[in-house]
Amino acid sequence: MRTRAFLRNLLVSLREHDARSLIAALALLVFAAVLPPVNLPRDSWDTIVVFDLTQSMNVEDYELDGVPVSRLAYARESAKRALRELPCGSRVGWAGFAEYRTLLLLAPIEVCAHYGDLIASLDQIDGRMRWGNSSEVAKGVFWSVRAAKEIGDAPSIVFVSDGQEAPPLRDGDKPGFDDIKPGDVRGWINGAGGEAARPIPKSDDDGRSVGYWKAGEVIQRELRTADGKRVPGTEHLSALREAHLRAIAQQVGFDYATLTDADTLTRAMKNADAAVSRPVPTDLSWLPAALALIILIARFRPEARGP
């Protein structure tokens, strides 16, 4: 019945003197259908997310939907959420850290046009990609800065790690590179893991679980009590090394945040200081369509049609 009434009113209006309003609405709808995207300046972000691929990142001290997950899995899920929050025009790339190097896995690409590619490649990032069992985190952060400097427009870095150095650093050690200066590249270190030390899962070269690392299988720090007695090492266990990560962040001019929830990574990637204003194709077809709707509502409201 409502459809019939609408059509009847439409036919009557076309015969009346105010058919111009309907013609205007139709013209606006046609304009909305053919209007191409318009380039408008918008804030966007260019980021390389570096995932620590070493075995301590397989410790399961996070939860997703009530299910325990590893630090690396939680970092990947956080990255997926960040992709959904970034505006079109932003560019994101992936990198992996193991041993002492950070290697670029996917150069930054636009998040809207390549969303499927980013998700598909992200799902493939896991511990099987690591190329060594050592974990020199400080050097990995420096290598990530180098990688960003070699890319045009110098994207910012978000480095996700628990901070576990293997072999452990000696007291007073402070790795660094002469060619890296604080502030060369904007970035964040996101610390992953809990406060409680947990056993580190052990896996073979094919990624198959083979138990947990034991105290005698890893290099331990030489710890002694005040009276000289040796203290058993704990390098086969892993917890978030926040103080160490903060020190590295300060050394390269990065900010630091602990990965406490899935939005931590999003906040780091959308840091206001790293925003870049660039022309982004923007759909404005809703404007003439909305004007057409307003005209039609005004024309067919009861008081407009009269008694």
| pLDDT for residue 219 | 74
pLDDT per residue over 154-195, tens digit each? Answer: 799 999 999 998 888 766 666 666 777 888 899 999 999 999
| pLDDT for residue 17 | 46
Residues 271, 46: Cα–Cα separation, whole Å: 11
Work out the pLDDT band at 44, boundaries 50, 70, 90.
Answer: confident
The Cβ of residue 144 has, within 10 Å, a number of other Cβ atoms equal to 27
Do 276 and 293 share a structural domain? no
In the chain, how long is the greatest CA-to-CA distance? Answer: 104
Query: Can you state the angle between helices 286-300 and 19-34, rounded to 10 degrees?
Result: 160
Instruction: Please say if the pLDDT value at position 12 is more than 50.
Output: yes
List the beta bridge partners of residue 110. 91
Residues 75, 85: Cα–Cα separation, whole Å: 15
Tell me the pLDDT of the chain averaged across its residues. Answer: 83
CATH at 267: 3.40.50.410
Retrieve residue 2's tokens: 């409502």
pTM over 0.85: no
The Cβ of residue 140 has, within 10 Å, a number of other Cβ atoms equal to 27
Instruction: Please say if the pLDDT value at position 18 is more than 70.
Output: no
Do 121 and 236 share a structural domain? yes
Residues 73, 2: Cα–Cα separation, whole Å: 53
Do 273 and 131 share a structural domain? yes
Number of domains observed in the structure of the chain: 2
Give which of 216, 223, 215 is closest to 170, Cα–Cα.
Answer: 223
Percent of the chain whose predicted confidence (pLDDT) is above 70: 79
State whether residue 106 is helix, strand or coil: strand
Retrieve residue 100's tokens: 């002492």
Do 301 and 269 share a structural domain? no
pLDDT per residue over 59-106, tens digit each? Answer: 999 999 999 999 999 999 999 999 999 998 899 999 999 999 999 999
Residues 307, 302: Cα–Cα separation, whole Å: 8
Instruction: Please say if the pLDDT value at position 259 is more than 50.
Output: yes
Do 102 and 251 share a structural domain? yes
Domain extent for 54: 41-280
Instruction: Please say if the pLDDT value at position 280 is more than 70.
Output: no
